[in-house]
Amino acid sequence: MDGNMIGPGPYRATKLWNETIKLFRGGMPLRKHWAHFRSYDNSFTGSEAVDYLHELLKRNQNFGPEVTRYQSLQLLRKFLKNHVIEDVKGRFGKEDFDDNGRLYRFPPQSPLKPVPQRRPLAQRDFVPQTLRWDDCDDSRVPSTIPMKPLVLNSETWNKRHSIAIGEVPECKLVRRRDITPKHEDQIWKSMTLNHLQSVLGLQSLDGVLNAKLLSPKHIVYNIFSVNKQGIVVLKNKAEDLPHWVISAMKCLANWPNGNERNQPMYSGFERDVFRTVAEHFQRLKEPLMTFQLYEIFVSVLGLLPRRQIVVEALQVCCLLLPPANRRKLQLLMRLMTKACNNHHLPPLNDTIGTRTLMVQTFSRCILCSSDEVDLDELLATKLVNFMMDNHENVLKVPTELQRSVQEHLSHLRRAQIKYAGADTDSTLESPAHTFCRQISKQEFEEQRVTGSQGAIVELLEGIIHDKAMSIKDKKKKLNQFQRSYPDIYRRRFPTPESEAAIFPERPQKLKPQLTFFTLKKKSLQPFQRSWSFRA
């Protein structure tokens, strides 16, 4: 293999560009050529350059044997545009590079692209590893969270294991705090980015991923809103592929049994169906892996010699996609894989095989940069080839990440005991807490007695102040209480007067007084018709 393997990290595409230029300038054979009755020293023809660069890229472990001659020609055209090479008359930029006998040479200096300098790790502002409740705003979630080393000295060990050695120091009970949906989404985002950083083996995700642009709801939706096959199910059908595109994809994937409407198939029908699907994806305004995630996917390519690590990294990266993009990517990868493995499907091209055609057609629909990075096509080809070989695993939900996040959320929902002086989890801090300390057996007995008596006293006070209870029922319950707990009752009512004070005095009912008029009315009423006092 030629060249050094460039691992994951920021600005990987720029580093690969510079590495390729150095290898090409350092190894391209130069000799004297004749053209137009003149000789040109240290020159090479277009065909010689394509031959050499093609072999160079295939041997390079950063690209591999999947590189085609046409891709090598495309890269040389970019070399000419960026003045990596020039024709023998010194022209570059607007000139076209062709695979023929035209003569080219290297300029005196090769323009390598500068790699942006990153601040040293110690100069960056970091937040603690634990996500605070106040930090659940998108703009404040860090893209990288350094791990704080845990130092266990004798004092720390004693504090954490005091129960086992028979001591119970002062502690506090941290009560459970409800986790809002917003907080839960941010925990998913934070732990997903931490997991991705750990898989890639990077000290920071700066330069490869802008965490502020990521939506935590996309992560949660991609994990839980799926069908039995693990494909995302969209609520908004307007974001999905058109029905006719899905029908065309099924037709190719299940050929010759995929013609849902039993339409008449003519010679070349399958090629027209493929062209219909290709044109739809090529008209997308943005690749399925999005412009903002380009650097992180390119960075993953640096791990390709370690297949399992790449699969795990791509699993996490694909969770960051918008749900509509993830669904389209899943359907497209299934189509590409099935079409390549379908021996009944006629050739879709007369010159190249079905797999090569699929990769060349859809690679830039899956991955490319917004500013046309010079190695886009080579990097996309390498990534798509790997995903076709491993698409069933790559587009699965990473089980380890899902399990760790759910365990962490369960941990946050539980109440915990924190010992004085031990590390405090800021995520669980709450102003409502109680303190406890070790007590003697005598103190325990006293507290047991006073505690139970306090409850009995509360019961008595409840009977006394119950305004809804009738006086008859209240007296009955107080008599029962007096028989059961005479000492407590005597302390509450030491005298008969204190007991009588809780019952309101009933007003005495006065007998109606007989007046002259009432007597007159009662005595004279039967004789009203016979006589009266009137003369």
What does the pLDDT read at residue 134?
Answer: 40
Q: Give me the pLDDT at residue 303, please.
A: 86
Backbone φ, ψ for residue 105 (5° rounding): -150, 170
> What is the chain's length?
535
- DSSP class of residue 286 equals S
Which residue ranges of the chain lie beneath pLDDT 50?
121-152, 163, 165, 424-435, 514, 516-524, 527-533, 535
Any idea which residue has 């997903």 for tokens?
192
Cα separation values, 21 from 105, 113, 178, 310, Å:
14, 10, 57, 26
| pLDDT score of 422 | 57
Among the listed residues 222, 213, 219, the one whose alpha carbon sits nearest the alpha carbon of residue 291: 213
**Tokens matching residue 62:** 């950063």
Give the span between the Cα atoms of 286 and 295, in whole angstroms: 15
Please tell me the predicted confidence (pLDDT) of residue 142: 43
Tell me, what's the pLDDT at 1?
54
Classify 3 as helix, strand or coil. Answer: coil
- Give the pLDDT confidence of 278-328 residue by residue, as tens digits: 999 999 999 999 999 999 999 988 888 788 999 999 999 999 999 999 999
Residue-by-residue DSSP string for 404-457: HHHHHHHHHHS-EEEETTSPP-TTT--S---EE----HHHHHHHHHHHHHHHHH
pLDDT score, position 205: 87
CB-neighbour burial class of residue 42 (10 A; exposed 0-12, middle 13-18, buried 19+): exposed
Phi, psi angle pair for 454, to nearest 5°: -60, -40
Q: What is the 3-state secondary structure (H, E, C) of 239-267?
A: HCCCHHHHHHHHHHHCCCCCCCCCCCCCC
Contact 434, 216 (CB under 8 A): no
Asked if the bond preceding 323 is cis, omega within 30° of 0, the reply is: no
**269: which residues sit within 8 A by CB, 6+ positions away?**
none
| pTM recorded for the entire structure | 0.65
**Domain architecture of the chain: domains with CATH:** 12-105 (1.10.10.10), 183-405 (1.10.555.10)
**Amino acid 51: pLDDT:** 94
